[in-house]
Chain A
Amino acid sequence: MAPAKHQTISLVSSCCGGACAHGQRPEPVRVRLSDAEVGDSGVVCHHNLDIRDAELLRAMGLRPRARVRVCKRGEPCIVEVLAGCGHGGGGIEDACSCRIGLAGSLARLVMIEPTAATPALAVV
């Protein structure tokens, strides 16, 4: 059995646009998709998925910089992929009807940057 090929995508970006008081870019808050609370929104920034799963999810709309909303945690993890991703938002956030269910084991490999305050999230 050949080892599974993994694809790591990192799209870490500044969360405050470099306008930090100390002139340093603070580390962005990133959480696992599986740890996000129901109702939380975020931007997909990084994943460590098998290349086939990554390709499929990407084609389904769950791609880097995609904006997602968590509809259900656990098994399966259900997310809504919000339209207008990749251009910094500013669109109509609820204008979406693409819902993807993915196994919890995959949700653990996808990192998002929350776009709303989510104190309950486990910061990675």
Chain B
Amino acid sequence: MSDGCDRCGEQASVGGKPAGTGTVAALHIALLGNPNTGKTTLFNRLCGLRHKTSNFPGTTQDARIGTVRGDDAGGELHVIDLPGIYSLEIEQNESEVCRRVLAGTLAAKGEQAGEPDAVCVVVDATNLARNLLLVGEVLARRLPTVVALNMIDLARRGGFLVEPAELERQLGCKVVECCARSGEGIDQLISAMSRAVVPSRTPPGSREGLEAWTDEVYALCVGHRHPPASAGGEREGGQAIDPAAVASAARARARFGLLTDRLDRVFTHPLLGMVAFLIVMSALLYVVFQIATYPMDWISAIFDGSEDWVAAWQPGWVQELLGGGLTGFVEHLMPEGILRDLLAQGVVSGIGATVIFVPQIALMFFLISLLEDTGYLARAAFLMDRVLGPFGLPGHSFVPLLSSHACALPGIMATRVIPDRRQRLLTILVAPFMTCSARLPVYVLVTMLLFRDRPGLAAAAFIGCYALGVLAGLGSALLLGSTLLRGRPRPMILELPTYKLPSIRTACVTTWDRSIVFLKNAGTNILAISIVLWWLGTYPKVDPPPAATQLRMMAAEMREGRLADSNIHDSARGTPSTASQAAPFADRESRAAELEAKADHLELSNAKARSFAGRMGRFLQPVFAPLGYDWQLTVGVVTSFAAREVFVSTMAVIVTGREDAEEEGILEEIGAAKREDGSPVFTTATCWSLLVYYVLAMQCLPTLAVTAREAGGLKWAMLQLLWMSAVAYLAALLVYQGLRLAGVS
């Protein structure tokens, strides 16, 4: 150990900026620490929502940069939250990012690279011995440093009597006791960061030397390891050590250790652990899918309107203006034309299509963050390592795969926690097999057609779809892991954090953060794709079919009283309506409206069929014919290539001429659709084939975009697309042809 330079004493400046002279220049503070030291909680406590999430260019590491007002003497502090690491010197992506940030050669996107003005090392006061290693590595870099002795409340309760003054003397830098959860010591920490100085001591450079140094510092700084400083048990600061209190704390620690041992044994037990896991996950998924329904309905009503809401609105013009939601509002305000269609059907609908997923994703992240904070997730990861291991996936893959059940986009982004690149790639490639929310409308339609009035069977088919997705994902991982991505799986090593009550505040900030990242990354893609889809489904504009024109003329004549109901010929009705033909003419206006609705239906169906997407559907129909799909279903499949949730609304337009797939009775109308030869579109075999196809097919362009980014190349996205499409096509083909051979039509 060597003493530091005398020039770096108390009068030294922070990163070359004079401290305590009223300067208002923002200081850049790097927040560093071991995992599970409460670093993120501290960042949230310091910056709250005054932060942005970015990433480090060329890496997959997130960077959170927040602003905190410094003390009276200094200006603002720009705090950058670095990834949690155990050491700066090991070969891990996280460690490399931290090394480069401290060296000033890497900065978050949009930030200027340069050495930070100070480093704040967050250490867990209850686990000081291990944390000192990282502190030593930082001190050796000779940057202005502050040590935040976090979780001091737990340390006090557990009898870990750390002596900050002695620690400060040994480290040669400011040490601040704090508790990020309660906010204790935060003001002092901010003040210390504003005035950080280059440490006055430098630990040894070699690994062995550094380890010996940490042991020595630990021995000197933890009160209960000291022989009593004086006969009366006085500590340096004059505070008396009560031996009874120390013994009591040790007993409490032993009891807690025993409880932790027992919980660990249960949660990692092959059977008991699995039962606990299933209970926890069922509760999580139930809450996510049950509670998220409400905000999703509200969002849907905001964008598309809601009859229930409108009914209560007065006066009538408010209903007219806002009854159609934001889409209707735009359509109401703007004159008819391309720009109106683009804004209403492309942009507003695209934003709606993105925002609708946020409640589920946010809720999923919130609950995962709570679980993570309790310490349970680390145990679950080990349990899942046993389940996923035979398929070549690590236990770390479990959270990404779970998140993918809400949406594959955050699931793929969550693979950043997987340390091994090969296993990370595997997880990215198979994550979209998990049933996401966008598949649910298709499942609802098809299971309703298959099991009308048999809700039990429909529910079983639903669960089967989820299971098929998981099995396909695991099977694909096994295959890819033994061929293209062959390699030795890395055995799992994970720190098991202490069990504790989760922090709601941390979960809220994390949820906010992740949701914003989702909206920024995925939202941009979804919006762009929605606009392209709208264009493909809307253009080229075609003339209305003659039957529709004739119906409109009849409607006009009906209004003027020049046409009796009995004069309406079937050919002009577009769709047969024998019952209405026989009915006595009662209300001209309503009959005219009925005729116009039929004309609208004919026009919309015709426009969709002759649009670019429709033409593509017709062109590709022979490809999908072996799966049992006619041109209408093929158009549905083709238009939903970029976003699978579009399938039901496309079918609604093609079959019924109405765009609102949630309208009452519309699913029944879709189910009754006929092929050109008059046979039903949705036979039992076709329905099963369609269901299997949508469980397995990629059908999500935003996911491909995120895969390309996270996996580090378009080739991975292409592989994912081709693999999933091939699996889906073959499985649907087998199902359709198999059922036909078995006599099920």
Give chain A's interface residues, CB within 8 Å of chain B: 1, 4, 38, 50, 52-53, 55-61, 63, 71-72, 75-76, 78, 80-81, 83-87, 91-92, 94-103, 105-106
Contacts and interface: CB of A to CB of B under 8 A. Distances in A.
Contacts of B467: none
A92 B378 contact: no
B268 A87 contact: no
Nearest to A62: B493
Given A60-B495, A83-B128, A94-B257, A53 B490 contact: yes
**Which 9 interchain pairs have the tightest Cβ spacing?**
A103-B491, A59-B87, A59-B86, A83-B129, A61-B130, A99-B496, A55-B90, A76-B382, A86-B215
A97 B492 contact: no
Interface string B116-134: 0000000010111110010
Contacts of B215: 84-87
Interface string B243-264: 0000000100110010011001
Contacts of A1: 486-488
Contacts of A103: 385, 491-493
Nearest to A80: B257
23 contacts: A1-B487, A52-B91, A52-B490, A56-B90, A59-B90, A60-B493, A72-B261, A75-B382, A76-B492, A81-B130, A83-B129, A83-B218, A87-B215, A95-B159, A95-B224, A97-B126, A97-B127, A101-B378, A101-B379, A101-B492, A101-B495, A102-B493, A103-B385
Nearest to B496: A99
Chain B interface residue count: which class? Answer: 35 or more
B580 interface: no
A21 to B, nearest CB: 33
B509 to A, nearest CB: 25
Contacts of A105: 491
Contacts of B490: 50, 52-53
Given A60-B130, A87-B215, A101-B268, A94 B250 contact: yes
A101 B127 contact: no
Contacts of B482: none
Contacts of A56: 86, 90, 92, 493
B495 A100 contact: yes
B160 interface: yes
Interface string B481-525: 000001110111111111000000000000000000000000000
A115 B66 CA distance: 48
Interface string B575-595: 000000000000000000000
A2 to B, nearest CB: 10
Contacts of A60: 86, 130, 493, 495
A63 B129 CA distance: 12
B33 to A, nearest CB: 13
Given A1-B488, A63-B211, 7 more contacts: A60-B130, A71-B264, A94-B250, A97-B124, A98-B495, A99-B264, A101-B382
A41 to B, nearest CB: 13
A102 B491 contact: yes
Given A72-B265, A85-B129, A99-B496, A91 B225 contact: yes
Nearest to B254: A94
B496 A101 contact: yes
Contacts of A58: 87, 207
A65 to B, nearest CB: 8
A104 to B, nearest CB: 8
Contacts of A4: 488
A32 to B, nearest CB: 15
Nearest to B214: A86
Contacts of A91: 219, 225
A106 B491 contact: yes
B386 interface: yes
Contacts of B129: 61, 83-85, 96, 98
B328 to A, nearest CB: 55
A85 B126 CA distance: 15
Contacts of A81: 130
Contacts of A38: 261
Interface in B255-289: 257, 260-261, 264-265, 268, 270
Contacts of B379: 101
B218 A84 contact: yes
B222 interface: yes
Contacts of A80: 257
A50 B420 CA distance: 14
A84 B226 CA distance: 12
A102 B492 contact: yes
A57 B490 CA distance: 13
Contact of B219 (A55, A71, A84): A84
A92 B254 CA distance: 12
A101 B126 CA distance: 18
A97 B252 CA distance: 13
B212 interface: yes
Nearest to A99: B496
B498 A86 contact: no
Given A59-B86, A95-B224, A100 B219 contact: no
Nearest to A81: B130
Nearest to B125: A97
A99 B382 CA distance: 13
A101 B250 contact: no
Contacts of B268: 72, 75-76, 78, 101
Nearest to B88: A59
A31 to B, nearest CB: 19
A69 B492 CA distance: 19
Given A95-B224, A97-B127, A78 B264 contact: yes
Contacts of B207: 58
